[in-house]
């Protein structure tokens, strides 16, 4: 960082950066856990609009870059951010996971360019040199066919001086989230920041039967309570009369495509996809909220008793977003944002745990003569002869 001197001051709020930030589930969780989110990067314009509307506010608002992260220069962005905000202590991120998805058959996805985004993510970890990083992804990234990408990621972490914990698969139900959702988390910590008594992952707080001092899994019934009359996300898909009739034949709090009486050609020769057109059972944890969570043809996403798919607000509640968080971009775009998010309450629990078990560095770079008001916003882009320029939208 140019050899600038290091100064030390009392750190009351550790600072983090959220890469591949989406609509802001991880960022909101970080704020609730006591972190300042100094910077967020998101490429999708609808997700960025949602993030901006909900999270770019306050005395020290998050700086949001609406850009393709592959076309940003990590060292330049790190230098600029730390001149503005001080040392960054934690890097968050959930690189797009389609290449690792369990829906990819055989060896498809092995050479998917989106798999490389975990290495792009680490380019920014290396540049910011935080005390710790926490990456979220789908369990498919642990499949043997993706071992080369994962091994490279771990090699990068160790070479940069991090203790990188083994990947863990967490089921959100075991932490009080009203949803069956399994995701991988990879934690890296600088040895100097690592406390001897750290427990990772945090111990579960819930179990299916609630024995051994744990609470029983949370059901999703509260997601279906009435919302305010002016909630712009109280929307569901419009269905044909044929589909409404199929939903009416499906038993409350359950059922399947067989009981709906609707059989498509793609269903005729196999017995799979039983959850399609099924109702969510409000007395149990909900199924995984995917990017298609408002579409009953994509899974068990029909309302427990009414003859339509679940609303955006109901899906957002299952993902533990507060009702004050509003999603933009239209029905399908908002549904995708919700399904892509880290459940807010799960993220808050993980990050609160890290705050209690990691010694976040209190050192900061001494400010240089360049201030936030005179920094060129295009200076963080890759030179044109290296990559095409990114479109960078700065929050007001």
pLDDT in the model for residue 96? 86
pLDDT in tens, 289-340: 999 999 999 999 999 999 999 999 999 999 999 999 999 999 999 999 999 9
Q: Which residue has the tokens 């490429």?
A: 43
Contact 176, 345 (CB under 8 A): yes
Active site residue ranges: 97
Q: Which residue, 12, 89, 23, is CA-closest to 344?
A: 23
CA distances (Å), origin 224, targets 21, 161, 300, 318: 27, 47, 15, 9
pLDDT tens digit string along 181-240?
A: 999 999 999 999 998 789 999 999 999 999 999 999 999 999 999 999 999 999 999 999
Distance from chain centroid for Cα 196: 28
All domains of the chain, ordered by start, with CATH? 12-215+342-382 (3.40.50.150)
pLDDT confidence tier of residue 12, bands split at 50, 70 and 90: confident
Q: How far apart are CA 40 and CA 48, in angstroms?
A: 9
pLDDT at 301: 97
């Amino acid at each position: 960082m140019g050899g600038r001197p290091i100064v030390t001051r009392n750190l009351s709020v550790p600072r983090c950066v959220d890469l591949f930030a989406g609509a802001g589930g991880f960022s909101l969780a970080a704020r609730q856990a006591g972190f300042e989110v100094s910077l967020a990067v998101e490429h999708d314009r609808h997700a960025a609009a949602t993030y901006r509307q909900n999270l770019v506010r306050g005395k020290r608002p998050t700086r949001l870059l609406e850009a393709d992260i592959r076309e940003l220069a990590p060292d330049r962005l790190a230098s600029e951010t730390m001149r503005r905000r001080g040392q960054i202590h934690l890097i968050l991120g959930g690189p797009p996971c389609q290449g690792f998805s369990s829906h990819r058959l055989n060896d498809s996805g092995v050479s998917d360019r989106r798999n490389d985004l975990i290495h792009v993510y680490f380019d920014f970890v290396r540049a910011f040199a935080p005390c710790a990083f926490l990456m979220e992804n789908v369990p498919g990234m642990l499949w043997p066919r993706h071992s080369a990408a994962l091994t490279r990621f771990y090699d990068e972490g160790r070479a940069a001086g991090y203790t990188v914990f083994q990947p863990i698969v967490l089921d959100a139900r075991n932490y009080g989230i009203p949803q069956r959702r399994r995701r991988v988390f990879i934690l890296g910590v600088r040895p100097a920041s690592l406390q001897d008594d750290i427990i990772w992952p945090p111990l579960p707080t819930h179990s299916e039967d609630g024995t051994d001092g744990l609470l029983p899994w949370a059901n999703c019934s509260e997601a279906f309570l009435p919302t305010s009359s002016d909630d712009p996300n109280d929307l569901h898909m419009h269905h044909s009369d044929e589909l409404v009739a199929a939903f009416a034949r499906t038993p409350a709090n359950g059922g399947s495509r067989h009981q709906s009486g609707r059989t498509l050609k793609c269903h005729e020769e196999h017995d799979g996809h039983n959850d399609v057109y099924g109702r969510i059972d409000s007395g149990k944890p909900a199924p995984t909220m995917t990017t298609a969570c408002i579409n009953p043809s994509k899974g068990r996403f029909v309302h427990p008793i009414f003859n339509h798919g679940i609303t955006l607000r109901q899906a957002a509640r299952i993902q533990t977003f507060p009702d004050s968080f509003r999603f933009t971009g239209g029905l399908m775009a908002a549904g995708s944002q919700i399904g892509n998010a880290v459940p807010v309450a799960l993220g808050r629990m993980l990050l609160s745990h890290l705050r209690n078990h990691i010694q976040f560095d209190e050192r900061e770079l001494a400010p240089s003569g360049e201030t936030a008001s005179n920094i060129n916003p295009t200076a963080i882009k890759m030179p044109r002869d290296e990559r095409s320029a990114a479109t960078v939208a700065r929050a007001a």
